């Protein structure tokens, strides 16, 4: 009895995990058996699987395949509590985090897994008019915008001449290429049947990349293959072109060219979450937090930065690791294990990244893969590898099953079940106007 009472009064160390992306969830799960109190906070109530956002934006997958309830991922963990709230401030010296509504939280260990956000690099009009693709709301907004534009052109065909169904995608990295490829398949596949009166040649999809080539992170043979695969799908690839300004219906390039397009997808750059600016830390390129080999923040050994928010140097190559799901998951898991080891009085180990290769999908049966040793794959074999790796990254078997059903369905029938737009505000004004009368009557 006495031992139990004594144990009850001893406060367990509190691990505050900010962000429930790959990194935050990875850290939280590794603390499952540790004698700590884990508090996880995210502004969303769902975990976002960013690598497949472009498939939601193009109607291939439905939202639940890419956004999984966070609480569902924590059911088997007794030592954790999740709160949906927005982090508003982090005081590393006072060891306190503030939120929109929650009481301020102190911590013994802090895990920063707040991810990155879009960087428009100050391009005029981009913030107002561009469609980024970093969150689930971004993907839904883009999908609804594209669907709305096609319906408008169906009603007023002359709008096609003004570029209403043209899309400019900025950024020749995986996000831009995957989105451009998927849009082209949507346009050439199901939209041809959905809108038989709109000639398919009316719509342009243009991929603009500032550098001399798309896919700079891949070897030359894969870069060439990607251009070929995109061109075959009808995407116009413009490399060496820089977007100067964006308006709602036009995209102006630095070369002077003007592209008529009512949609510009921004896949050109990221920066660390805006909250990093308030930390009084010297930030690395892209506003990322530099960390030591155990992923600790300098001068604050109880604070760890993981995933996209961190600039993690690969011990093998001395290069900063890219902002990838596998880096986020592995770094988060490592920090979870490290804290568990510290709490148990055990020795900790530095972080070592296990590179599973870099890959991107271009379309059905078309992808590129580059392995650590430099081996490359392209085409159908690479598409299978891409699918396998992305299925493994999905958080639950249920999500994997959903994705497989949608992929197989789309592969066999070209169908896109997610291509409906639902306006959540439809009819709201009517309800609001009626409400007082109803209350008054009761």
Among positions 66, 90, 133, 140, the unique one binding ligand FAD when judged by CB under 6 A: 133
Smallest gap from residue 4 Cβ to ligand FAD (A): 36
Compute the distance between CA of residue 153 and CA of residue 161 in angstroms, rounded to an integer. 10
* Contact call for residue 308 and ligand FAD (CB under 6 A): yes
399 contributes a contact to ligand FAD by CB under 6 A:
no
CA distance to 170, 187, 258, per residue, from 159 (Å):
23, 17, 17
Question: Least distance from C-beta 390 to ligand FAD, angstroms?
Answer: 7
Residue 293 tokens read as: 């080999």
- Check residue 40 for interaction with ligand FAD (CB under 6 A): no
E-assigned strand segments in 59-123? 67-69, 80-84, 87-91, 96-99, 105-106, 109-112, 116-118
**Site for ligand FAD contains 407 (CB under 6 A):** no
Placement of tokens 């409400």 in the chain: 435
- Name the segment binding ligand FAD (CB under 6 A); options: 51-59, 143-151, 217-225, 234-242: 51-59
What is the pattern of x (binds ligand FAD, CB under 6 A) and - over residues 134-153?
Answer: x-------------------
Q: Report how far apart, in Å, the C-alpha atoms of 393 and of each of 20, 45, 48, 88, 207 are.
A: 14, 19, 11, 29, 28
3-state secondary structure 27-52: HHHHCCCCCCEEEEEECCCEEECHHH
Positions 225 through 244 that interact with ligand FAD (CB under 6 A): none
Does 114 sit near ligand FAD (CB under 6 A)?
yes
- Nearest distance in Å: CB 87, ligand FAD: 4
Residue 103 is classified by DSSP as: P
Rounded to an integer, what is the distance from CA 414 to the centroid of its chain?
25
Query: According to the binding rule CB under 6 A, does residue 272 interact with ligand FAD?
Result: no
Cβ atoms of residues 133 and 142 within 8 Å: yes
If the CB atoms of residues 115 and 163 are measured against ligand FAD, the closer one turns out to be 115
Smallest gap from Cβ 106 to ligand FAD, in A, equals: 17
In whole angstroms, how close is the CB of 395 to ligand FAD at the nearest point? 11
Sequence-ordered strand ranges (E) for 174-234 = 205-209
**172 belongs to the binding site for ligand FAD (CB under 6 A):** no
Q: In what order do the strands lie in the sheet with 37-42?
A: 80-84, 37-42, 14-18, 109-112, 300-305, 296-297
Q: Is 174 in the site for ligand FAD (CB under 6 A)?
A: yes
Q: Does 176 sit near ligand FAD (CB under 6 A)?
A: no
Spatial separation of the C-alpha atoms in residues 413 and 407, rounded to whole Å:
10
For the chain, the C-alpha Rg in angstroms (whole number) is: 24
Measured from the CB atom, the residue of 138 and 250 that comes closer to ligand FAD is 138
Per CB under 6 A, 271 contacts ligand FAD: no
Q: Which of the ranges 42-50, 181-189, 223-231, 288-296 carries the binding residues for ligand FAD, by CB under 6 A?
A: 42-50
**Helices 380-393/397-413 angle, 10° precision:** 150
Size of the site for ligand FAD (CB under 6 A): 34
Q: Is 269 in the site for ligand FAD (CB under 6 A)?
A: no
Task: Report d(CA 241, CA 213) in Å as an integer.
Answer: 10
Which of 19, 59, 125, 176 lies at the binding interface for ligand FAD (CB under 6 A)?
A: 19
- Report the DSSP beta bridge partners of residue 156: none
Check binding of 333 to ligand FAD (CB under 6 A). Answer: no
Residues that bind ligand FAD (CB under 6 A): 19-24, 41-44, 48, 50-51, 53-54, 86-87, 113-115, 133-134, 174-175, 273, 275, 307-309, 323-326, 328
């Amino acid at each position: 009895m006495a031992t139990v009472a004594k144990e009850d009064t001893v406060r367990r160390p509190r691990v505050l995990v900010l962000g429930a992306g790959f990194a935050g969830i990875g850290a939280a799960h590794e603390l499952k058996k540790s004698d700590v109190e884990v508090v996880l906070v995210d502004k969303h109530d769902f975990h976002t699987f960013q690598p497949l956002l472009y498939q939601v934006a193009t109607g291939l997958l439905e939202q639940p395949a890419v956004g999984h309830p966070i609480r569902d991922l924590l059911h088997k963990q007794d030592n954790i509590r999740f709160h949906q709230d927005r982090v508003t401030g982090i005081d590393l010296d006072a060891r306190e985090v503030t939120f929109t509504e929650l009481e301020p939280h102190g911590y013994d260990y802090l895990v920063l897994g707040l991810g990155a956000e879009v960087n428009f690099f100050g391009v005029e009009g981009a913030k107002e008019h561009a469609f980024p693709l970093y969150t689930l709301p971004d993907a839904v907004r883009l999908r609804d915008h594209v669907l709305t534009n096609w319906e408008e052109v169906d009603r007023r065909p002359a709008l096609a001449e003004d570029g209403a169904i043209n899309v400019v995608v900025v950024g020749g990295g995986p996000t831009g290429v995957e989105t451009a490829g998927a849009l082209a398949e949507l346009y050439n596949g199901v939209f041809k049947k959905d809108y038989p009166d709109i000639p398919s040649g009316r719509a342009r999809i243009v991929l603009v990349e500032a550098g001399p080539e798309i896919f700079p992170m891949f070897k030359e043979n894969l870069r060439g293959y990607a251009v070929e695969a995109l061109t075959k799908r009808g995407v116009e690839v413009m490399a060496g072109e820089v977007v100067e300004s964006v308006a709602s219906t036009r995209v102006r390039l630095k070369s002077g060219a003007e592209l008529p397009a009512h949609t510009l997808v921004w896949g050109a750059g990221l920066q660390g979450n805006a909250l990093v600016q308030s930390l009084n830390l010297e930030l690395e390129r892209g506003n990322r937090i530099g960390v030591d080999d155990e992923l600790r923040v300098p001068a604050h050994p109880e604070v760890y930065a993981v995933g996209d928010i961190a600039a993690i140097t690969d011990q093998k190559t001395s290069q900063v690791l890219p902002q990838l799901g596998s880096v986020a998951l592995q770094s988060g898991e490592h920090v979870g294990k490290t804290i568990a080891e510290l709490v148990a009085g055990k020795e900790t180990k530095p972080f070592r990244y296990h590179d599973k290769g870099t890959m991107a999908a271009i379309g059905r049966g078309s992808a590129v893969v580059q392995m650590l040793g430099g081996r490359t794959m392209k085409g159908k074999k690479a598409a299978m590898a891409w699918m396998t790796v992305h299925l493994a990254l999905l958080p639950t078997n249920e999500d994997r099953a959903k994705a497989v059903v949608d992929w197989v369905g789309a592969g066999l029938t070209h169908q896109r079940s997610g291509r409906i737009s639902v306006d959540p505000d439809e009819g709201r004004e009517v309800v609001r106007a009626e409400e007082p009368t109803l209350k008054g009557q009761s």
